[in-house]
Amino acid sequence: MKEKTKQGKAVFLDRDGTINADDAGFINKPEDLQLYPFAAQAITKLKKMGYLVFVVTNQAGVAYGYFTIEDVEKINTKMLKDLSEANAFVDDVLYAPYHAKGIVEPFNIQHEDRKPGIGMFKKINKKYGVNTKLSFMIGDRASDIGFGKNAGLKTILVRTGNGEKEFMDNRVDSEFYPDYVVKDLAVAVKLIEEIDK
């Protein structure tokens, strides 16, 4: 019998607009984080399929001075609490507080961690070991797709959050053209289930 090696298969998830609603553009405080109703179940399904699940989120609002690192951590804690109450668990959460046009030091720099840079991928890969051939990036922005492409992952654009606009704006952009475009995270996970078979 042929044994398939599926060690290190991982799904990288964007946060805002992918796991939770992103109506205002920035999530400033924990109360503003509202999970999409399908998010917990989708993550649970990925874990059952044996995927490592990572959240990688750009939080340039720190560099702009809209909120602090402490706020980001509180918001991430709220996300993890809401997910765990629905029996969904992720393996790690990383965020990039940087932006070259920011005003708050030391975050007002261009940094590899900011997607589409792959600093966050490198950190996760070093710690967990990722089999890129079996792994995916799911997000609602071109920067998520760029991150996935730069890291050698299969890419899925969701049409929640900013995704609908991104899909229309970037559909002819070959550099950031996603491998798949789907309605939302629930459908993205169904697609992964099909590909995984």
Please give the positions annotated as active site: 14, 16
Q: Position 132: which residue type?
A: T
Q: Does 166 bind Mg ion (CB under 5 A)?
A: no
Q: Which stretch binds Mg ion (CB under 5 A): 6-14, 29-37, 43-51, 168-176?
A: 6-14
**At its nearest, how many Å lie between Mg ion and the CB of residue 129?**
26
Which tokens is 74 given? 């509180």
The smaller minimum CB distance to Mg ion, of residues 26 and 128, is found at: 26
Least distance CB 14 / Mg ion (angstroms): 4
φ, ψ dihedrals at 66, nearest 5°: -75, -30
Asked whether position 14 contacts Mg ion by CB under 5 A, the answer is: yes
Judged by CB under 5 A, the residue of 12, 13, 17, 156 near Mg ion is 17
Pick the closer one to Mg ion by CB: 8 or 111.
111
Rounded Cα distance, 192 and 11, in Å: 9
Q: How far apart are CA 58 and CA 18, in angstroms?
A: 12
* 14, 53 Cβ separation under 8 angstroms: no
Which secondary-structure segment (H or E) carries 57? strand 52-58
Residue 162: CB minimum distance to Mg ion, A: 6
Stretch that binds Mg ion, among 39-47, 68-76, 87-95, 132-140 (CB under 5 A): 132-140
Q: Which of 16, 82, 113, 184 binds Mg ion (CB under 5 A)?
A: 16
Do 146 and 12 meet the contact criterion of CB atoms below 8 Å apart? no
* 121 closest CA partner among 57, 45, 40, 39: 57
Asked if 184 touches Mg ion (CB under 5 A), the answer is no
- Residues numbered 24-83 forming contacts with Mg ion, rule: CB under 5 A: none
- DSSP code of residue 101: T
Smaller CB separation from Mg ion, 108 or 143: 143
What is the rounded CA–CA span in Å between residue 115 and residue 5? 29
Angle separating helix axes 185-196 and 39-48, nearest 10 degrees: 20
d(CA 195, CA 197): 6
Q: Which stretch binds Mg ion (CB under 5 A): 77-85, 126-134, 140-148, 178-186?
A: 140-148
* Residues contacting Mg ion: total by CB under 5 A: 4
Residue 5 CB, nearest approach to Mg ion (Å): 31
Please report, as ranges, the residues that interact with Mg ion according to CB under 5 A: 14, 16-17, 140
